[in-house]
Amino acid sequence: MAEDLSADVVIVGTGICGSFVAHEMAKAGLSVIMLEAGPRIDRDEVVENWRNMPPHNKSEYDYATPYPLVPWAPHTNYFPDNGYLHVDGPDRTAYMQGIIKGVGGTTWHWAASSWRYLVNDFQLKSTYGVGRDYAFTYDEIEPYYFKAEQEIGVCGPNGMDIVPSAPRKQPWPMDSMPYGPADRRFTELVKPLGFENTPVPQGRNSRPYDNRPQCCGNNNCMPICPIGAMYHAVYHAQKAEALGARIIPNAVAYAMETDAQNNITAIKYYDPDKQSFRVTGKTFVIAANGIETPKLLLLAANDRNPRGIANSSDQVGRNMMDHPGIGMSFQAAEPMWVGGGSVQMSSITNHRDGPWRSEYSAIQIGMNNTAQNSRAGMKALSMGLVGHKLDEEIRKRSAHGVDIYVNHETLAHPDNRLTLSTQYKDKLGIPHPHVYYDVGEYVRTSAVKSRQHLMNIAKALGGTEISMSQNFTPNNHITGGTIMGKDPRDSVVDGWCRTHDHRNLFLATGGAMAAAGTVNSTLTMAALALRASEEILRDMKHA
Amino acid sequence: MSITPEADTSGPLPEAERWASSALTRRQIMLRSAVSAGAIATAALLTGLTSGTMLRARNNAESPPLAPDVRDRFMRFSHLATGHTALSPVLGERYYQALTGQDHQFPAKLNALVDLAGRLPRPSVEALEEIARQQPALHGALMAVIRAWYSGVVAEGSQATVYAYEAALMYQPARDQVVIPTFAHDGPNYWVKAPPPVSAMPAF
């Protein structure tokens, strides 16, 4: 197949960052090739796979099994653990991330919480003396945040005064969805404790938007919205395709070629049969998010870049961050009827920022609004009940069951590091990722208080059968592995996501984020991708 | 209920084929399950279409159909064991076969349980469960039948074959308020209205 694989812009990854960049490039009339390691994903099939998944998996929140898993592009699955991502260190449980390889990426099964970070999140080091600063301030990213909110279609609490929150120049594209019974009651019950439970900005339609329907509360956002009321990156992948961008699925990038100026000249990929192909271009973008981006850069080490591409700083794969969580479940004294609306409607945000951040993590507390019926049924059956008592127990648990959580910000630490596994390789011979993870004292100090917060909330709701996770849980907000900074000696990319080492290589990924903040990272990643797109277009004009 | 794995389809099946591939007709579903109209529209999908990769991979070899008297006896016993009569005989047949596959003594245990129930002055699952406790093997078989109808699976854990999701009885007690995830419960913002009392068990 002597095909000319060449484009103005070559993008690795078709998730939200890759698809946003592709869409911007295609709109500007540039030719685009997108390489996606995984297959195309069909919504109907995933919905059906979920329905056909055992109730054990449903009750344990298995978001991976419904998605196709191909041997040439393995991703994580913990039902049971398929061993793709190897984690060690004191907090290994907290980095067992859920990722998807396939066209559209992991926004297939996100919850669509689309927060902006706070002003201080971008200047953690300057403000509180801990962690790292971004290479730009909030004001510089604000317009890209708004553009990302428009592209995604974010509904938010217009007209509400929420403290702290990120200052806005324009309202959210859509107003919030109304709360269901659980969020209404939870808000009332936690208020006396000083907790302000406020609407989450969601990438979900509170009215028809962008040719997609309004949310009908099917309550299955994670792992698949059955109707497309929730935004998925596949929409931008498709928009880019409609404008002429070419997606090559099942194309696993593994190497990069560089010239004497250390510009990238080509990316090489394997097809499922391990046939190698070479793609040339003017500008290259790695948008494979926080695990696969550093993995690829390390894998692609060459003579000129022996530690890995973009890694003269030795920071590629370091500073791995997320929001280590603590979960709690209990039976509330009164019926809450969790499950009305989307799976994440509200959140307690008044601990997102404060002077204590110089000593310990800021936090976000929330109630999970995933319907309790799967868990209620499995639990009631395990109790050996029969007849009316069984039915009553299921109904009672569906009405009274509550899950709450606290998520903690982590600080960038170079020892929290992703490396290429020396033991495990996939079908193509590519090493699996290996991560060492220690949440650090900053988080542990905060967690003592967090556990108390959770207990106080459980008490306020008259909770019984209280159970709290002993270990930290992962939240899939994968940040830091290709960290941003002004100094090329201690960072991988600049404020435009351009690598310090290679003028024509950009990393549009959550990995570029310099501080984890307390909230979901997707909107910020998407804003970074739009910012990078602008810089790439400037390059192209002046090339 | 499609028993034979279909050829791999790269996309969703056309609506007509979906119905054709289901051994349960729309009318049968409507007759056999006391579920809302909204759910009926999609009920064919959950009763066992096999275009999903997972289910296709896990489909059991086809079993010969049950003798009608065996099936009817199992259905009658299932009505007693669950306390509910709107149960699909097609599902019943699959549960019976799966339970027998898991425990070759199941048919004999079922007969013993039917005899035991027949000797009760006023047959009810509560009374049967109490008396069966003295015979652990029979008690286990009774609970296995209940678990199948309620959870939609016979095996445990994450590799179990799924026979029913939306028709699994465990989703019925709260279904007046709690959506069966992925299915439409009602129109947008249905969740704004006040929930029903917990004491008001829906009929199913």
Question: Would the pLDDT of B138 be above 70?
Answer: yes
List, for residues B172-182, the tens digit of each pLDDT value: 999 999 999 99
pLDDT band for B154, please (50, 70, 90 cuts).
very high
- Chain-chain contact of B54 with A220 (C-beta, under 8 angstroms): no
Query: What is the nearest CA distance from A96 to chain B, expressed in angstroms?
Result: 18
Q: What is the pTM of this model?
A: 0.92
* Least CB–CB distance from B191: residue in A52, A180, A381: A180
Q: Quick one: average pLDDT of B86-113?
A: 98
Query: What is the nearest CA distance from A143 to chain B, expressed in angstroms?
Result: 31
- Chain-chain contact of A52 with B54 (C-beta, under 8 angstroms): yes
- Chain-chain contact of B179 with A45 (C-beta, under 8 angstroms): no
Question: Would the pLDDT of B10 be above 60?
Answer: no
Is residue B107 helix, strand or coil? helix
Confidence at residue B62, expressed as pLDDT on a 0 to 100 scale: 62
SS3 content of chain B, % helix, strand, coil (to 5): 50, 0, 50
The two beta strands, A401-408 and A363-368, are: antiparallel
Say which residues have a Cβ less than 8 Å from residue B180's Cβ, sequence separation at least 6: A373, B39, B165, B166, B171
Q: Are A77 and A257 in contact (CB under 8 A)?
A: no
The one-letter code for the residue type at B14 is P
Q: Quick one: average pLDDT of B24-43?
A: 35
Of these residues, A477, A500, A502, A542, which one is catalytic?
A: A477
B174 contacts on A by Cβ (under 8 Å): 373, 376, 394-395, 398-399
First-to-last alpha carbon distance for chain A, in angstroms, is: 31
Spatial separation of the C-alpha atoms in residues A358 and A339, rounded to whole Å:
37
Is residue A459 helix, strand or coil? helix
| Residues, chain A | 543
Confidence at residue A225, expressed as pLDDT on a 0 to 100 scale: 98
List, for residues B186-200, the tens digit of each pLDDT value: 999 999 999 999 999
Report the residue of B45, B177, B191 to disrupt the A interface, i.e. the one with the largest count of A CBs within 10 Å: B191
Q: Are B146 and B19 in contact (CB under 8 A)?
A: no
Confidence at residue B58, expressed as pLDDT on a 0 to 100 scale: 42
What are the backbone angles phi and psi of residue A431, rounded to the nearest 5°? -60, 145
CA A383 to chain centre: 36
Angle at A245 between CA A243 and CA A251, to 5 degrees: 155
Confidence at residue B55, expressed as pLDDT on a 0 to 100 scale: 43
Q: How many CA atoms lie within 13 A of A133 on its CB side?
A: 13
What is the share, in percent, of chain A residues with pLDDT greater than 70? Answer: 99
Confidence at residue B17, expressed as pLDDT on a 0 to 100 scale: 36
Query: What is the nearest CA distance from B47 to chain A, expressed in angstroms?
Result: 9
Closest CA to A277 of A300, A247, A297, A254: A254
What is the share, in percent, of chain A residues with pLDDT greater than 90? Answer: 99
Confidence at residue A275, expressed as pLDDT on a 0 to 100 scale: 97
Mean pLDDT of chain B: 79
Question: Would the pLDDT of B16 be above 50?
Answer: no
Q: Are A509 and A287 in contact (CB under 8 A)?
A: yes
- Cβ of residue A58 closer than 8 Å to a chain B Cβ: yes
Residues lower than pLDDT 70 in chain A: 1-3, 543
Closest CA to A285 of A11, A37, A6: A11
Closest CA to A258 of A508, A11, A504, A535: A504
* Least CB–CB distance from B126: residue in A371, A387, A399: A387
Annotated catalytic, A408? no
Does the CA dihedral A384-A388-A394-A399 come out positive or negative? negative
Spell A193-214 as b/e; 16+ CB within 10 A means b: eebebbbbbbbbbbeebeebeb
Residue of A nearest to B174 (CA): A395
DSSP code string of A230-270: B--THHHHHHHHHTT-EEE-S-EEEEEEE-TT--EEEEEEE
Does the CA dihedral B14-B6-B72-B160 come out positive or negative? negative
A371 contacts on B by Cβ (under 8 Å): 178-179, 181
- Give the DSSP letter of residue B49: -
The one-letter code for the residue type at A434 is H
Q: Are A244 and A31 in contact (CB under 8 A)?
A: yes
Report the residue of A49, A52, A155, A381 to disrupt the B interface, i.e. the one with the largest count of B CBs within 10 Å: A52
Q: At what angle do helices B68-82 and B136-151 cross, to 10 degrees?
A: 90
Spatial separation of the C-alpha atoms in residues A91 and A83, rounded to whole Å:
17
List, for residues A384-404, the tens digit of each pLDDT value: 999 999 999 999 999 999 999
